[in-house]
Structure 1
Amino acid sequence: MSTSTAPAFVHALLGDARSAHLFELLQGLDAHALNWLSGYTAGLAARAPLASVTTVAPEAAPAVPFTIIYGTQTGNSRLLAERLKQQVESAGLTARLFRASDYPVRELAQEQLLCVVISTQGDGDPPDDARGFCEFILGKRAPRVEALRYAVLGLGDSSYPRFCEVGKALDTRLAELGATRLLERADCDVDFEPVAKGWLDQTFARAREALTPRAPATATVLPLREQRTTPAFNKESPFSAEVLLNQRITARGALKDVRHLELSLEGSGLTYAPGDALGVWPHNPPELVERLLSELRLDGTLDVTRDGRTLPLARWLSDGLEITKLNRPFLERHATLSGSTALRDVLQPGNPEAFRTLLASHQLIDVLRAHKANWEATELVQALRKLTPRLYSIASSPLRVGEEAHLTVSVVDYTAFDLRHFGAASYHLATRTAGTDAVRVFIEPNERFRLPEDSDKDVLMIGPGTGVAPFRAFIQERAERGARGRNWLFFGEQHFRTQFLYQTEWQEALKKQTLHRLSLAFSRDRAQKVYVQHRLREAGRDVYAWLEGGAHLYVCGDAQRMAPDVHEALVDVVSTHGGKSREDARAWLETLREQRRYLRDVY
């Protein structure tokens, strides 16, 4: 081995002279001598650890790895699974990491150590990338796994009645199949870090105990690797992006206020690809903060401490806590303080519909007004959920716009119970002034919502309302790359005249043949409502021909009604024009999903 073959970071670590001397000494040594040296140097490191180098103890790599599987819709489960894998590997142990859709389920019968980190979407649904995995585990084909030790971490939102339902179901099912829990399941709310960190540490400790050989083992040499650099700006340390443009793109008189925003990422080093999301850290509306303080008769200047931070109460309510969304833990405490029988009834486990209705129709201020209670400032701050960032599909391609990110935002601003109500992030964005204000942002990658690598492939996009945002990015990207595949967009809104988002852009794209087909559905322009799923059925023959010919299919938008309705329309299309039973049509679409040709970004 010559010094010229030494990695650059070894030279940087030891210096040219010392690295040259090291590799000169190592030349000619056999495997036995190298193994002995690795154990000897590891022992030295244990007594006097180097500040910049992590030295792995000389343990033999176990024959059985620790398998980690994640299912995610927004990326949080992936981040936690990657963190656990890094912990395991930092101890010199072997770990395998799989997205649930990539995991070969036939291997489950042979697994001995398994961790599943999985989110629950909406009211009890698995994330799109875990549907097949969950169906296998929960179905009749799942094997007995008596030799398996496992752990499940669930992520969810306690605003929904079936909180962390997917994690609970998998945890129960694996036990039914004969597996033994390595650790009790944990359920994380939207603010997942407090629960997740401790659970991951415990799981790592149990896994290390299970994987570490009990008898002394021959030392193994682990290759040196350069440390990954953490981006300067991320979720915990967002970038202040200047607002370049804040333009309403629905006409006067429209039922919705939809904004097109352009934000500068210049100098941030942040990069993204079409399909990614921009995370936005909002401030709650000042008018709502003042109303809450008045309703509760609390002093906004009073200092309150939580999690080691001391802030005035008004500051907590402004940018530290959720005040536009409700969640079960707060409601349960408020029911106790208020003594409200009606609120207690809504929160009963056997009353999920009433709970759903409450969450959909009420904000925090409504509950406080309807069910009076006396809150102390400290208890209120402890009871409310931490404010979390909102994710918006990026509506631009960096090949077209450079160091900018564009957003399509529907502003939540309505009147109910004689009060004006707001959405925290959308109202925050809508009230930013171009050229003056900035927004705290970060990039949230979305690897499961990508354009096909083969630009000759056709692309079929279904995006009603603001769900059209990523498809603006897709069409820009395909145009800039000179993609030869065809692009077909299905778009729907309420009214053609006032709510045809990006109308002039689509018309220009049609002229330039960077958009080849545009199917429109405006639901309130005629007596009988028409939605994108109706247009899918009407164009069913061509839709099926595109899919049969290899097209990639994308759906973005509302998860509760639109996405299921579109899926049923696709089942109808495949059944009718593919000559298949409905069961076979569903299986055919599931195959597209497994091939990553049917991708959804729904919320």
Structure 2
Amino acid sequence: MAFEYFSAALEAVPPLRLAAAGGVLLAWAALCRHAWRRGHPLLPAAGEWTVVYASQTGTAAALAEESAALLGAPPPLPLDLLPLERLAGGGRFLFIVATAGEGEAPDNGRRFGARLDAWCAATRSSAGQVPLAAARYALLALGDDRYPGFCAFGEQLDLALQAAGARPWQAMLRVNRSDEASLQHWFAGLGAFIAAPQLTRQALATTAWRLQQRDHLNPGSSGGEVYRLCFVPAADGGGSNWPIWQSGDLARIELPGWGAPRDYSIASLPTDGSLQLLVRRQVDRHGRPGLASNFLCSELPLNGCVDWQIRPHAPFHLADNAQRPLLLIGNGVGLAGLLAHLKAARAAGSAEQWLVYGERCPQADDHAGRLLPAGEGVRIDRVFSRCPQAPAYVQQRLREAAGELQDWVARGAAIYVCGSRRGMGDGVEQVLRNVLGEALLTQLAQAGRYRRDVF
């Protein structure tokens, strides 16, 4: 009866009025759907995800790799290599970026802002449109709140993307000193997109290592004490259970009460028979030793055990540069990563290597001379800032060898810089700009032939 009554009522309504009512209902449904979608974005297909990183020490790059693997996305891109046309084409983007130095962009993100500004200005002027209106993104910003520019680059990138019309689907997440709870929150958010809300990130494998040898490399130095530490797995099964790493990778240690993990460049290859590090014992202006460096250099007894994680550091790998001529530049304990590269390059058949290394005193601080005597195909230039006869700095030595520097690059050399950002790292970059030119240096960086691990 109810159905018959409803049918009769519909027949009594004039057709035009019925059509108008239907149109109103359809419009209302469309409006409701649009409002719901604004708060519940469509889940993208795997091919729509693009993961992008800007990383100086490798943490952001490693997190980008994890995120891409979780989402079934292609391998992540360095921010400098993100095609702006892809960003304008729309889809879902994950930006995982660190802040370097005093609030600066990492090396593989420094040129993105200027490139985005120029491209957006050209697009707006030619088409009068919002360039990135089709892009949706989430942004994970890594930083250290002990520095005044905490997550500054992440904040700058977030503002630049929104100014160009891209829309965040969630607020930027700031992570202080690799805080695990914050990182778990990020991965749980990604898990919600693939119907796995209880997802937790996979931790890097941790191995117990035994301190086999500790050598004080610079007794009598006016600088901080530097030690070479050699570790072997505590449960050594004849090499069968050794973790695998490559030159450029890092070793991470974290102990209760430290507040944040510490990363150290690995100075050896697995074929050397030990995990070797160069560690400077830090002391602050009040004479208080650093927690991590003092533990490793003084408190950990010989044959004592400690847990290490091996962290891939893809931005500083040799990759396809292994057989190129290599120009390796560094200072202090930054020598560690360069030593590993020298060994790997020799093993790969690299024709020639040139190491330019700086320290304080030639009598006490000649780590390069002690750890890697010059051999066939290897040129070592050592400079010392407190040498009474001829004090010099790394950047000064490069400036003096400008012609040779240009020749090495013309012959296909790759440039690796490892050590302190202030002074050495910034000074070397300025010399490279002056000698090679800004355009060529940018090309080298984008081609992976100019890489830095500065801290």
Distance 1:201 1:136 in 2: 32
Distance 1:116 1:163 in 2: 17
One of 361, 365, 370 as aligned partner of 1:504: 370
3-state SS, counterpart of residue 421 of structure 2: coil
Distance 1:61 1:547 in 2: 43
| Shift in Å, 1:493 | 0.8
> Does 2:281 align with 1:429?
no
Q: 2:321–2:449: 8 Å Cα contact kept in structure 1?
A: no
- Tell me which amino acid in the other structure corresponds to 2:438: R
Distance 1:88 1:592 in 2: 31
Residue 136 of structure 1 corresponds to 115
3-state SS, counterpart of residue 596 of structure 1: coil
Distance 2:43 2:361 in 1: 66
Distance 1:486 1:571 in 2: 23
> Does 2:79 align with 1:104?
no
Q: 5+ residue gaps in structure 1?
A: 1-58, 210-229, 282-318, 323-386, 575-584
Counterparts of 1:296-311 in structure 2, within 5 Å, are none
Q: 1:394–1:405: 8 Å Cα contact kept in structure 2?
A: yes
3-state SS, counterpart of residue 427 of structure 2: helix
One of 248, 262, 273 as aligned partner of 2:246: 273
Q: 1:452–1:552: 8 Å Cα contact kept in structure 2?
A: no
Residue 413 of structure 2 corresponds to 551
Counterparts of 1:397-436 in structure 2, within 5 Å, are 397-399=269-271, 401-402=272-273, 404-413=274-283, 416=286, 420-432=287-299, 435-436=302-303
Distance 2:147 2:405 in 1: 35
> Does 2:191 align with 1:251?
no
Percent identity over paired residues = 27
The verdict on how the C-alpha distance between 1:480 and 1:426 changes in structure 2, with shifts beyond 3 A counting, is same
Q: 2:322–2:344: 8 Å Cα contact kept in structure 1?
A: no
Q: Tell me the TM-score normalized by structure 1.
A: 0.61
Residue 126 of structure 1 corresponds to 105
| Shift in Å, 1:149 | 1.9
Q: 1:458–1:487: 8 Å Cα contact kept in structure 2?
A: yes
Distance 2:350 2:92 in 1: 46
> Does 2:267 align with 1:395?
yes
| Shift in Å, 1:479 | 3.1
How many residues of Structure 1 are paired with residues of Structure 2 in the alignment? Answer: 394
> Does 2:396 align with 1:534?
yes
Distance 2:224 2:431 in 1: 26
The verdict on how the C-alpha distance between 1:533 and 1:467 changes in structure 2, with shifts beyond 3 A counting, is same
Residue 176 of structure 1 corresponds to 163
One of 325, 328, 333 as aligned partner of 1:466: 333
Taking only aligned residues, the RMSD between alpha carbons, in angstroms, comes to 2.6
Distance 1:271 1:81 in 2: 21
Residue 383 of structure 2 corresponds to 521
| Shift in Å, 1:455 | 4.7
Distance 2:83 2:336 in 1: 33
Distance 2:52 2:284 in 1: 41
Distance 1:121 1:487 in 2: 28
Q: Tell me the TM-score normalized by structure 2.
A: 0.80
Residue 179 of structure 2 corresponds to 192
Q: Which stretch of structure 1 is more off in the superposition, 110-119 or 434-443? A: 434-443
One of 439, 442, 455 as aligned partner of 1:590: 442
The verdict on how the C-alpha distance between 1:490 and 1:195 changes in structure 2, with shifts beyond 3 A counting, is same
Residue 256 of structure 2 corresponds to 320
| Shift in Å, 1:572 | 2.2
Distance 2:186 2:216 in 1: 45
Distance 1:568 1:414 in 2: 29
Query: Which digits, 9 at most, give the CA deviation of each residue in 1:545-568, with x for residues without a partner?
Result: 001110010100111332111101
Q: 1:126–1:134: 8 Å Cα contact kept in structure 2?
A: no
